[in-house]
Structure 1
Amino acid sequence: MHKLLTASLMFVCCATAWAADAGRVVFVTGKAQLASKPAALDAVVQEGDDIVTGNDGYVYIKTVDNGFFILRPNSSAKVTAYHIDSANPANTRVKLELTNGVARAISGQGVKAARQNFRFNTPVAAIGVRGTDFIVFTDQHTSRVSVVSGGVVMAGFGGSCTAEGVGPCEGGASRELFAGQAGLLQIQRGQPVPQLLNNPALSPDQNEKPRSDEPVGKVAAVPLQGAQVNLDPQRELAVGNVRTTTNNPPGDGGADDGGNIVTTPPVIEVKPEPVVPLPPKPQEIFWGRWSTVAGDVNRPASFAGKEMDSETFVGEYMMGRVKGAPLVMPKEGTAAFTLANSEAFIVRNGRESVASVNSGSLGVNFENRTFTTALVVADAASNFAVNGRGTIDMKGLMVNDAASASTIRGYLSGAQAEEAAYIFRNTPRSGITVIGGTTWKK
C-alpha cells in the first residue's frame, strides 16, 4: 500500500509538472471555477484546466503571450493546449475549447506568430485566426462567431476537419469573416458550410452580454509612435462597483453595505488590428506542354526564366517545382484539396479536342503519405472519369501506384504542404487518351 501511495503521489507530481502555464486570472467576479476550484485573482491557469462560470460569473485570463481569454456567465471552456515557442513559432501549439456559453479570445503575440497552429473548438465547429479578436457563442447544436478585429476562418466538423486537428480547417467547406464585414458566421450541426448572417439579434453579445470593463478597441486620434498596449490590471484605481463572490460581515473594511468585497476590474485597451489583405503567395509548382523556349524544345513556356530543383514528365506534359520552394510535410492528419486550375485535352485516334475538368477531388493522408484523386474531363462529345491513387515521398513527389487507372505525377509544396499539383494521362478505351494538368489548394 505504501508503494502504491508513493507511486500515485509521484504520478500526480509529475503530471502537475508537465502541465504548462497558459496564463493567470486578472479579474473574476460571481460564481466561477478553475480546475474544479473557486477561481481566484492571480490564480495560474494551466494546460488542461477547465473553466466554468455560473449565471453571474465572469473570468478574464491573461495568457502567457499577452493575449486574453474571457469567459462570460453560464459558460464552460477548457484550455486544452497553450505552448508558446517564441524562438521557433513552428513549435507553438494553442488549442481552446468552448463547450457551452460565450467566450472571447484576443490573440497574443505567440498566437499571431503561429496562426497556423491555433485552434478554437466548439462542439460543432473549428475556428482559426487571421489576427485576431473574436467572440463565440455555442451550445451543442449551433455555434456563432463575430469579429472585433482581424479575421477568422470557420468550418464545421466533417471529412478532414476533426476536433482532434491542429490549426484552422481550410478549403471549400470553410468560410472567412473579417472585422470590416457586416454580420457574423453561424453553423449548425450537420451543415456543410457556415452561413454569413446579418442579424444583430444573433450576435454572441446578445446571448451573454459583456461587462462594461471588457476590452474595447480604441484608436487614438493621432497615432503615437512606440505606444504600448496596456494589458495589465490597474489595482491602484479608485474603488468601483464590481463585486466578487467572497462575502465579509457588513461593516468590515473593504466591504460594501451588502457584505461583498468591492474591487476594481482591470482596465484593458486593445487596439484593433487593421485588416490588411495578404499578398498573393508566389506560385511554386509549374506545369505545361512542351514548347520551344530559347531553343529548348523540352521545356513548357510556363517554365521560362525559372530555375527548377525537381522535374517530372507524363507524355508531352512536364511539371517542375521552383528551386528553394519550402516544403514541410505534416506527419499526421488528412487534408482535402480544392481544384484551383486545370487544363485538359481528349485525343481520339490522333485528333485532339480541348476539354475541361468539370469536377475534381484530391485527398492526402499525411500519416501514411498517400493520395487519392478523381476528375471528370469532358468535351462537347463526351466525358471521362480520371481516377488515381498513389504515394508521396518525403520530398513531396506524388506517383500513382501500379493498380491506378491513370498515370499521375505531381508535387506538394508550401510551409504546411498547402499547395499541390499533378499532370495526368489516362486511356479509358482503345484509341482515346485523356491528358492534362491540375493545380490544387487546401
Structure 2
Amino acid sequence: MPAVANDVVATISDLQGTLSAQHADGNAALLAESSAVFENDVLSTEANSYARLKFIDQSEVVLRPNSSLTIESFKYPNQQAELGSILLRLIKGSLRKITGEIGHKVPDQDQLITPVATIGIRGTHYGLLFCQDDCSEIPTVSGKPLANGLHVDVLEGAIALQNSGGELRVAAGEFAFVADPEHEPAQVSSQQGIQITIPPHIIPDSGHGNRPDPNHHNGQCTIP
C-alpha cells in the first residue's frame, strides 16, 4: 500500500535543539529523537537546531537552523523502490539531502521543490541554502551579505536545477546559484560557492554505509 496520512515515512534519528511538526490534521507537536514523521508533515527547526531525518527508503535529510520542510508526498508501496516516489518542499532555510533506494532506482521520482527551482537528483548528496533577507549573519569571503536566492553545493553524484528560466546540471564538487524562479540557474566558482555544513555528529550516512564529510572544503565559503 502507498504511504497514507497515518503511515510513518521517516523517523528523527538525531536532534540538536528544537524541532516541531505541523500535521495534516492541523495538530502540532514538538518532536524528539525517534519521533515519527508522516506524509504531509511540515517540519520546522528553531535557532541553533539541527534535525536528521531517516526515511524508510534509507534516504536522509538534515535540516539546519530556522528551516522548514514539507513532506509533500512519499510513496513506497510494499518497499518496492521502483514503484516509489518522493516529493519534498523546502519552504525556508537550508538542508543537506542524501538519496535513498527510491532515488537510486527511479531518480525521476525523487524531487525537492524550493521557492526558486526544482531539484531533480541523479544519486547524490547535496546541500541547499535559501536566503530571503535572512542570511546577513552568514560570513562570506567578500565580506558582503549573501545574495537572496538559492545557494547549492553537490558533494556526491549530480543534481538538475530547473525553473522557468532554464535547467542546469550540477555535478560533485560544483556550486550553483538561483536568484529567482525566472532567472536561469547559474554555476559559480568554488571560490564563490557556498557549502552548507552540519555538526559532525549529525552528518548523514551515504548510500554506501560511510559518512562523507560535507564540512570538508577547498577554499570555498562554508556555512557553519
TM score, norm. by length of structure 2: 0.76
Shift of 1:192: 3.5
Shift of 1:34: 2.3
Provide the residue aligned with 2:142 in structure 1: none
SS at match of 2:112: strand
Distance (whole Å) between structure 1 residues aligned to residue 112 and residue 181 of structure 2 = 19
SS at match of 1:213: helix
Distance (whole Å) between structure 1 residues aligned to residue 58 and residue 11 of structure 2 = 10
Q: How does 1:327-346 map to 2 (within 5 A)?
A: none
SS at match of 2:103: helix
Distance (whole Å) between structure 1 residues aligned to residue 87 and residue 29 of structure 2 = 22
Contact 1:21 1:82 in 2 (8 A): no
Distance (whole Å) between structure 2 residues aligned to residue 76 and residue 23 of structure 1 = 16
1:200–1:25 CA distance, 2 compared to 1 (3 A): farther
Contact 2:130 2:151 in 1 (8 A): yes
Provide the residue aligned with 2:59 in structure 1: 67
Are 2:151 and 1:144 aligned?
A: yes
SS at match of 1:128: strand
Amino acid of the residue matched to residue 20 of structure 1? D
Amino acid of the residue matched to residue 53 of structure 2? I
Are 2:184 and 1:193 aligned?
A: yes
Distance (whole Å) between structure 2 residues aligned to residue 19 and residue 124 of structure 1 = 30
1:190–1:68 CA distance, 2 compared to 1 (3 A): closer
Are 2:45 and 1:53 aligned?
A: yes
CA displacement 1:301-354 (0-9 Å, x = unmatched): xxxxxxxxxxxxxxxxxxxxxxxxxxxxxxxxxxxxxxxxxxxxxxxxxxxxxx
Of residues 34, 42, 45, the one that matches 1:42 is 34
CA displacement 1:193-218 (0-9 Å, x = unmatched): 2110014454142xxx4112232789
Q: How does 1:213-252 map to 2 (within 5 A)?
A: 213-215=201-203, 229=209
Distance (whole Å) between structure 2 residues aligned to residue 66 and residue 108 of structure 1 = 5
Amino acid of the residue matched to residue 200 of structure 2? S
Shift of 1:17: 5.8
Contact 1:28 1:57 in 2 (8 A): yes
Tell which has more relative contact order, 1 or 2 (C-alpha 8 A, sep 6+).
2
Distance (whole Å) between structure 2 residues aligned to residue 188 and residue 57 of structure 1 = 26
Are 2:160 and 1:210 aligned?
A: no
Shift of 1:271: 9.6
SS at match of 2:162: strand
Shift of 1:74: 1.2
CA displacement 1:227-284 (0-9 Å, x = unmatched): x726xxxxxxxxxxxxxxxxxxxxxxxxxxxxxxxxxxxxxx2599xxxxxxxxxxxx
Distance (whole Å) between structure 2 residues aligned to residue 199 and residue 271 of structure 1 = 17
- Asked which structure has the greater CA Rg, the reply is 1
CA displacement 1:62-109 (0-9 Å, x = unmatched): 1101121110111111111111244361x3220111111111111111
Amino acid of the residue matched to residue 150 of structure 2? S
1:27–1:115 CA distance, 2 compared to 1 (3 A): same
Are 2:127 and 1:135 aligned?
A: yes
Root-mean-square deviation (CA, aligned residues, Å) is 2.6
1:197–1:217 CA distance, 2 compared to 1 (3 A): farther
Distance (whole Å) between structure 1 residues aligned to residue 37 and residue 205 of structure 2 = 25
Contact 1:102 1:204 in 2 (8 A): no
Shift of 1:190: 4.6
Distance (whole Å) between structure 1 residues aligned to residue 213 and residue 92 of structure 2 = 28
SS at match of 2:202: coil
1:68–1:190 CA distance, 2 compared to 1 (3 A): closer
Provide the residue aligned with 2:160 in structure 1: 153
Q: How does 1:239-388 map to 2 (within 5 A)?
A: 269-270=211-212
Identical pairs, percent: 21
Contact 2:120 2:161 in 1 (8 A): yes
**Which runs of 5 or more structure 1 residues have no equivalent in the other structure?**
1-15, 160-172, 219-227, 231-268, 273-442
Provide the residue aligned with 2:86 in structure 1: 94
Distance (whole Å) between structure 1 residues aligned to residue 16 and residue 61 of structure 2 = 15
**Which runs of 5 or more structure 2 residues have no equivalent in the other structure?**
23-27, 133-147, 215-224
Are 2:102 and 1:110 aligned?
A: yes
Amino acid of the residue matched to residue 27 of structure 1? D
CA displacement 1:109-130 (0-9 Å, x = unmatched): 1221111111101111100001
